[in-house]
Structure formats: structure tokens, C-alpha cells
Structure 1
Amino acid sequence: MHNKVKTLGKETIIYSITNIIVRGCSYLVLLIQTHRLTPSAYSIVTECYGTYLALGHVFYDLAMDMTYFRFVHQLGKQYTFNIIVTLLLLTSLVFSTLLISYTPEIAKISNQLAHIRYFYYMTGILILDTLLMIPYAKLRVEKKTFYFLSVKFLQAFANIIFSAILLYLPSCLRLIECIVANCLNVKVALNGLDAVFMANLLSNLTALAFLLPNFKGFYLIWHSHTLQLIRGYATTAFLTTLFFRINETLPLWLFLKWTPNNFYSTHTKEEIFGNFGASCKLTVCITLGIQAFKHAAEPFFFANSDRKEALRLYSQTMHLFILVSCFCLLIFSLNLNWIAKILIPKADYRHTVDTVPYLTFTHIVLGVYYNLSASFKLGNQPQYNVWISAFGSLVIGSMGLVWIPSLGHWGCVYAAMSGAVVMTLIGYYMGQRCYPIPYRKKGFLLILLTSLVVGHIPLWPSKLAFLGVGWAYILLHVAILAIFYGLAIGWKKSTNLKEE
């Protein structure tokens, strides 16, 4: 059993290391964008990517990646690949036709008529991301980790190159204007925001070119019986993903709608929104590890469900996740001030950095819920995920309406935290009734203690200033390391005693 946990840990580390590299590339893109765009302009990027594209991905993806993981071993790799890609091609065609047809109305409803062409960019991005999704999932199932991570890195690196070219060489945008005018007889004045979307499109095309060999053997297939088989699971997974994405995007949308225009005395609402978008991206320093864990854990849960020691295995996985996540969060929060200055050198974008520890903690709580939700999948009760995530959306929406008008962006933070905590508490209660797993209560206590101190940790070095800045940081790092080392040793000893 320890070998299974170690295998999961190794796969998570592999994904984490490469995700660090890939996310490092994305931060270079962030640096380029924030250097060339004003906070007000960047607020449009945050709105488009944080709300419209985020929700659009749910409808285009239809949770088919999770469905692929669920049925690939049951139906066969090539057959599952073919029928799911066929379905996605059909639905993408339908959704894209509707989006293009109704783009003027959508832009009017979202008060983005001045930026209507960005919706056409987003449609292209959604189509390409959908085409990339199942080949990436196929590589993960086949354990082609190096291939998977190489293409991911290439995609991220291409985004850097194209972003730098288009944002720092305006002549390239002028050239594109001339091509569009001559070929389509349409005059358009492109700007830095166009460059952001174009770079994304071009990087996706680059990745698709390198994933084309994974389409070998693909042909269009339609089998009603198979679609009927996967429909129940896919529908539940889709609704769960939809509500999760609503939980992520709802605070941002409510901020735009409910924050008074004159709420901030020294900045506009749009400038703070751009700042908040940059702060949300800072959380990736931790959430990339959570994402890597999910990449490794999704196939892991199903692969080990029939083992005798499965319950203890899932319990150990949860405890290890909490231990590592809380340790990383505290270390990250302790060093947040200088990390923010490196990753966001432009001071105009650092006005909301103090929210980052709380935003990161929210992601960790959702990671705990993700572990708990394994009970619903293994107990064949996935509908609980839908109900709980829907209730989480209700909590976030209600708390957002209460807090955002009076607290601004902090209202978004508190609303998101409230929804995550409520979902986790309900998930634990319902999961124990559905598929009882003997989780260690001390792990949940560690989460609670971390929540109480995480916001104050960035201030601790200043309180120990009498030791000198360097010694204060060394002392705090050693203290955190010693505490978690003791917790890890204690956990290992108690586990060995139980197995004996």
C-alpha cells in the first residue's frame, strides 16, 4: 500500500515540477501583459478569461475528459477516443455556430459591444482547447508523461514567444491589419488586447500540431448504446463541473456588477479588478501542485477501488495532501511579499496582493473537497457532487451579494472561502454516509489551524525585525519546517503501528 501512495506521490511530483516550468512560462506571459497593458485594460483580460472563457470551457468540454477516464478501460482506448472526439466535434460545431450567430446580442448583454471581436477570438480558443483535451487525456492514461508534459511546455513557451512578438512589435499587428483588409475587405484597428487573444490562438495551434499523431486511427463513429451508457456519468460530471466553474467565476462577475463605481478612493473599479485578476494568478504558485495531484489522482482512485486496503489508501492520500498543502501554503505566505515583487514587478498591479493567502487557502479547501468527492464516485452516487456544488454556488452568490457592495474585492474572497468551506463540510458528512473512509481527524484540525494563521504570516518577519530581516526569515522557516517534520514523523509512526 505504501508503494501505491509513493507511486501517486512520484506522479504528482513529476506533474508538479513540469507544471512549475509551464506555469513559469505563463508568468512570463503575465509579466509581458502587465508591462504592456494598463490595469484597466488588463481588467478586460480578467473578465474574458475569468468568466466567459471559464464558463465556455464547461459547455464545450462537457466533462468528456473525466468521462474518458471513467470508460477507457471498460470500452477500449481507441473506441472510447473515437466516440468521444466525434461527440465533441459535433457539439463544438453547434456551440460555435450559435456563439458566432448571437455574438452581437451576447456582447450587448455583457456591456462589451466595444470589444465584440474578442468574442470571436474566444470562440476560436474554445474550439482549439476542446480539440486538445482528449489527446492530452489519452497521453495521461497511457502514462506517456514525458510526451504530455513536453507538449504542455511547448504550448506555454509558444504563448510567450507570440505574446512578446505581438505586444512588443506593433508592426506585426499592423501587418495583420493589412492582411485582414486585403483578404476579407474588413478594416480593423488592432491593439494589445487583440495580441493577448491571438497569442493564445497561435500557441493552441502549435500544441495541436504536435498532438496530431494521437489522432491516428480516429474515425467518426456514432453508437447510440455507448452514448446512452456514458450519458448518465457525463451529465453528472458536466453539472458538477459547471457549478464548480460558477463558484470560481461568480465572485468576479458579482464584483463587476455590485461594486459601486466610486467604492475606491484612489483607484477605479476596473483598475482594482485588473489587480485582483493578477493576484488570483499568483495563487498558481500553490494551485499548480493541486492540479498536478488531480492529474495523478483521477486515474488513481478508480484503479485502486477494488483493492482490499483501498479505504486506508484513500485516507493516507487525504492526510498527505493536507500535510503537504498546508506546509507549502505557510511557506508561500511567509515569502509572499518578495515573491509578488518578482512575479509582478509593476507596483500598479500589487494593490490586492494581501488577498493571495486567503485565495490560495480556498483552493486547498476545494482540493480537500475533491478528495472527499471520491466517496461519491466510488459509491456510485455522483449526483451528490452536483447538489453540493450547486449549494456552494448558492452560498457564494448569497455571501457575495452581502459582502461585495460593502467590502469590494475582499467580499469576493470571503464569499469564495465561505462556499469552499460549506461544500467541504457537507462533502465530508455525505461522503461518510455514502462510502465511509476512515479519514484522520488531525488532518482536518491542521486545516483549521492553518486558516487561523495564514493571513498573519506575511507580517511575522516585521514583528521579529529586532533579530534582523535575514535571521527572522531563517527562524520562521526553520520553525515551520520543524513543526511539519514532526507531524509527518508522527503520522508515519502511527500508520506503521496500525499496519502491524
Structure 2
Amino acid sequence: MSEIKKLAGQTLWYGVPTIASRFLGYLMNLSLPLFFAQPATTADLTQIYAIIPFLNVLFTYGLETAYFRFSKEEDPNKLYSTLSIALLGTTFLFTGILWFFSGHILQWANLQSHPEFINWMIGILFFDTLSTLAFAKLRQENRPKKYAAVRLSSVLVNLITVLLFIGWIPYQVQQNSNTWLTIFTNNNIGIGYYLIGNLAGSILTFLLLFNEFRKISIQFSVPLFKKVMEYSYPLIIVGMGGMVNDMLSRLIYQHVVDLPVEEAKHELGIFGNIYRLAVLITILIQAFRMAAEPFFFKQKGEENAQKVYARVMKFFVIACCFMFLFISLFIEVFGWFFMAINKPLWVQGLQVVPLLALGNIFLGVYYNLSIWYKLTDKNNYGAMITVAGALITIGLNVLLIPSLHYLGAAMATFLCYLFMMVVSYYMGQQHYPVPYATKKLSAYLAIVLVMYGMQKAILYFFPHLWLGILIGFIFIALFSWLVVWAEEKEFAKLFRKAN
């Protein structure tokens, strides 16, 4: 069986639960306009979910990647126990620090109207962090069924909680104001039930992984931990830089936009929700990374490993191109949906979604390219690239948001990821050459951009929803034919090996 098919199999087992959980999460996010008419209502939630990824990086400090890196050359039980004990200790430490400074976080993030959000956020971080290495162990030991069951159970609990307390119970109270269910609607929690659902899912995950925690033995190797930290500490910078690039626009939006507080919250709520449309591509990226990271480390040292990495990149970019076409060619459908549910305010800003989507493709390519510094233990270079990207993000957001609003934030994201992708490619070719099909992949990206431009040009003169949908399906079909034609030998090779 070819290496690509092995990766596809791992993506199926480990990626599908991620796709399902992320997709359900996005469905919940996209359903918020059904329950909350004003975008400003969701601004505080957007702020919390912009803070959490930053803290996740600090709480886990690169131990997951380090676990995959050293699992082949160190005793698995000693490695797992050492890293788990370290993670347990630092989780309690970081949690205590967050509790102590929670008041300052409330003031900085303008969350004084919802102080309970910080408490629930800390709980989510606590349980999610403790589950990090247990999930990594399941992936390393090829135990996909339990991995899938735990992931899906968690997101289902989250989904049920949200639908129950934000959807069904308010509807019942609206029908009968004397029902006992009013105790759930008269507590001013409102959209906070979204965080409560997330916390419930995180606690369930922790409980379902209890057997993995029981395998932790009381052995902590100081030399091993030092060795791991020498490898992983630059990954903290990489992770933090990545979060700055991904989340900063939503974190600082209401602080730098030249608007009154309530209007700033209004725009932040809109931007947070349109951003979720663009990062549908991250569903693919997240699923791919779950399977690819351990795969890349296992391939290290194998014959023709670089060629395998190049083929993986090609299929990844092709998949991203299809995702971009789906998002950009049917953006009017999302606008129609928001208008149909009488939420015209949510249509504002949809024009920047394709730009954000393309930026996220560049991010996905960068994740593929990042293998060169992870495999060669040169994580410092990765840290330097992400710090440079973060500086670009900070500068452009501060410069562009006050005048261009949504478009300025989208441009900052796009240019940052473009810079990181290009720099990582050229540095990688110097330190760990991989024969990527650069011209062909660039052509694929150019073609989907031309298709998007052609559709928008036609709709400018003939603005009909049905026409846009028809053109979208035609272009996706044409691109599918083009890929099959251009990759005929590649597909034939895969099918021949399958038989």
C-alpha cells in the first residue's frame, strides 16, 4: 500500500471525527443568527473564543508535537508519564494564575457584563489541556475507534446543550410564560449557554479518557524532560505567533476601530461570524494535521520521504482549491440564508470571506511546509517565521482596521499567511529540499481565482441567485475534470496499487 493511501487511511480514522466535531461546531456558530438578532450580542463570545487558542498554546507548550517526535527513540511509557506529570503540574499552575488575574482579563477584554464567561473559559482550558496527551497517545497507538468515540461524544453533548438551552427552552417559555423552564431564561445567561455546553463537552472528554490517565506511572525523568523542552520551547513561539496571526484581528478589533463601543461590538459580532464561513477551510486543515503530524515523523528516514511529502502537498492543495470554490462561488447563498431568516445585518462583510478563505489556504500550505524545521530539529527557524508574521499581522491590523474595518482585518490575515508561506518555502528548500510541484499547484490556485472572478463579473451584470448557483456548479465540475485530466497518471498509480 502506498504512503499516500496510508495517510488517507489515517485521515479517515483520525480526521473524520475532527471534521464531524468541527463541522457541528461551525453549524452551532452559524446558527447563532437564528437566536440572536443583533451581532453585538455575540461579540463577547467571539472575544472569549479568540482568547482561548492563545492560552491553549501556553498551557500545552508544544508537548503534543514533542511526544510524536520522541516516541520512536524513547521508552514510550517513560515519555508519556514524564510529559503527563509535567502537563498536570503546569495546568494547575497556569489555571491558578488565570484565576488570580481574571479581573484584569475582564477589564482588558471589555467583558464586565459577563464575568462568568472567564470562569467557564478557565474550566474549558483546564480539562482540554489535561486531555491533550491522552489524545496524542491514542493517535500514536493507532486506536482510532476510541479517539472517534470520545471526540464525537464531546461535541454531541455540546450541541445538545446549546440547542436545549438556547433554542428549545426559550421557545417553550415564549409559548408558555408560566412554565418552570423560566428558571433557565431568567438568569441572564443567554448566549453563555454556548460556553457551558463547551465546558460540559470538555468534562465528558476528560472522564472518557480516564483509562489513559491511569496508565501514567509515577516516574519523571528530568533529563528526558529537558531534552523534550529543548525541542518544544520554540514551538511555543510558533504556536503563539500562529494564534496572533489567526485571532488578533478579533481580539483587538473593537479597540482599534474608530467607532463608539456599541458600534464596535456590533461590527466585531458581524466579523466573528463571517470569519467562521472563511475558516471552513480549517476543517480540512485540522483533519489533515491530526493524521499528517505523526505520519510525517514516521516517514522520516524512509526512502523517498521527500517525494512522499511532495505528493501529500499536491493532494492537500487540490482539496483546498475545492473548498475555496465551494465557499467563494456560493457566498451569495449564505447571504440569501441570512436574509431569509430576517437577519440582514449578518450579510454585512460577506465580501471579505473569499479573501479570508484564500489566506487560510496559504496557512494550510505553510503547515505542510513546516515539516522541514520540525523534522530537522530547527524549530527556531519556525519561531522566527511566525514572529515575523505576527509583527506583520499586528502592524497591518492597527494600520488598516480603523479605515477599512472588515476589509483591513481580512487583508492583514491574507498578507501575513502569504508571507509565511513564501518564506517557509524558500528556507525549507535550503535546509530540507522537497520536490514540490510548485508550478502546477500555483496554476491550480490561479485557475480557481479566475473562476471566482468570472462568476462575480457575470453576477455584476446579471445579479440572480439561481444564476450564481448554476455557474458555481459548472465551475466546480470543470475544475474536477481539469484535476482528473492533469493528475491522470497519479490517480492511475493509486488505483493500480489499490488493486
Common fold by TM > 0.5: yes
Match of 1:75, SS state, is coil
Match of 1:113, SS state, is coil
Question: Is the 8 Å Cα contact of residues 60 and 87 (structure 2) preserved in structure 1?
Answer: yes
In the other structure, the counterpart of 2:173 is none
In the other structure, the counterpart of 1:429 is 426
In the other structure, the counterpart of 2:224 is 226
CA spacing shift, 1:295–1:230, aligned 2, 3 Å: same
Q: Give the CA deviation at 1:473.
A: 4.3
Q: Which segments of 5 or more consecutive residues in structure 2 lack a partner in the other structure?
A: 171-179
Q: Give the CA deviation at 1:167.
A: 2.2
**Counterpart amino acid of 2:150?**
V
In the other structure, the counterpart of 2:42 is 42
Q: For residues 192-225 of structure 1, give each alpha carbon's deviation from its aligned partner in whole angstroms, at most 9, with x where no partner exists.
A: 1332221111111122221112223223433211
* More moved, 120-129 vs 454-463: 454-463
Match of 1:273, SS state, is helix
Q: Which of residues 308, 324, 340 is equivalent to 1:313?
A: 308
Q: How does 1:73-152 map to 2 (within 5 A)?
A: 73-152=72-151
Q: Which of residues 254, 276, 293 is equivalent to 2:288?
A: 293
Provide the rounded CA distance (Å) in 1 between the counterparts of 2:100 and 2:406. 34
Please report the TM-score for the alignment, with normalisation by the length of structure 1. Answer: 0.88
Q: 1:410 and 2:407 equivalent?
A: yes
Question: Is the 8 Å Cα contact of residues 361 and 451 (structure 1) preserved in structure 2?
Answer: no
Percent identity at matched positions? 24
Match of 1:192, SS state, is coil
Q: Which of residues 244, 247, 264 is equivalent to 1:246?
A: 244
Provide the rounded CA distance (Å) in 2 between the counterparts of 1:63 and 1:454. 40
In the other structure, the counterpart of 1:352 is 349
Match of 1:306, SS state, is coil
In the other structure, the counterpart of 2:278 is 283
Please report the TM-score for the alignment, with normalisation by the length of structure 2. Answer: 0.88
Q: How does 1:206-225 map to 2 (within 5 A)?
A: 206-225=204-223
Provide the rounded CA distance (Å) in 2 between the counterparts of 1:394 and 1:379. 25
Question: Is the 8 Å Cα contact of residues 29 and 159 (structure 1) preserved in structure 2?
Answer: no
In the other structure, the counterpart of 1:182 is none
Question: Is the 8 Å Cα contact of residues 173 and 190 (structure 1) preserved in structure 2?
Answer: no
Q: Give the CA deviation at 1:392.
A: 0.4
Q: Which of residues 175, 183, 197 is equivalent to 1:174?
A: 183
Q: 1:161 and 2:160 equivalent?
A: yes
Q: Which of residues 257, 260, 271 is equivalent to 1:259?
A: 257
In the other structure, the counterpart of 1:180 is none
Q: For residues 154-182 of structure 1, give each alpha carbon's deviation from its aligned partner in whole angstroms, at most 9, with x where no partner exists.
A: 111100111122224366683699xxxxx
**Counterpart amino acid of 2:46?**
T
* More moved, 334-343 vs 423-432: 334-343
In the other structure, the counterpart of 1:29 is 28
Question: Is the 8 Å Cα contact of residues 359 and 413 (structure 1) preserved in structure 2?
Answer: yes
In the other structure, the counterpart of 2:332 is 337
Provide the rounded CA distance (Å) in 1 between the counterparts of 2:110 and 2:462. 49
Q: For residues 241-267 of structure 1, give each alpha carbon's deviation from its aligned partner in whole angstroms, at most 9, with x where no partner exists.
A: 11111111222233222111169xxx9
**Counterpart amino acid of 1:483?**
L
Question: Is the 8 Å Cα contact of residues 47 and 109 (structure 2) preserved in structure 1?
Answer: no
Question: Is the 8 Å Cα contact of residues 324 and 357 (structure 2) preserved in structure 1?
Answer: yes
Q: Give the CA deviation at 1:365.
A: 0.6
Provide the rounded CA distance (Å) in 1 between the counterparts of 2:463 and 2:108. 56
In the other structure, the counterpart of 2:176 is none
**Counterpart amino acid of 1:324?**
A
In angstroms, what is the RMSD of aligned CA positions?
Answer: 2.9
Provide the rounded CA distance (Å) in 2 between the counterparts of 1:458 and 1:44. 36
In the other structure, the counterpart of 2:365 is 368
Provide the rounded CA distance (Å) in 2 between the counterparts of 1:80 and 1:338. 50
Provide the rounded CA distance (Å) in 1 between the counterparts of 2:104 and 2:473. 57
**Counterpart amino acid of 2:288?**
F
Q: 1:56 and 2:52 equivalent?
A: no
Q: Which segments of 5 or more consecutive residues in structure 1 lack a partner in the other structure?
A: 178-188
Provide the rounded CA distance (Å) in 2 between the counterparts of 1:75 and 1:91. 22
Match of 2:101, SS state, is helix
Q: For residues 307-360 of structure 1, give each alpha carbon's deviation from its aligned partner in whole angstroms, at most 9, with x where no partner exists.
A: 121111111111221122113312332223225655995443232222222212
**Counterpart amino acid of 1:441?**
T
Question: Is the 8 Å Cα contact of residues 166 and 199 (structure 1) preserved in structure 2?
Answer: no
Q: For residues 453-473 of structure 1, give each alpha carbon's deviation from its aligned partner in whole angstroms, at most 9, with x where no partner exists.
A: 375366266369699737544
Provide the rounded CA distance (Å) in 1 between the counterparts of 2:349 and 2:320. 23
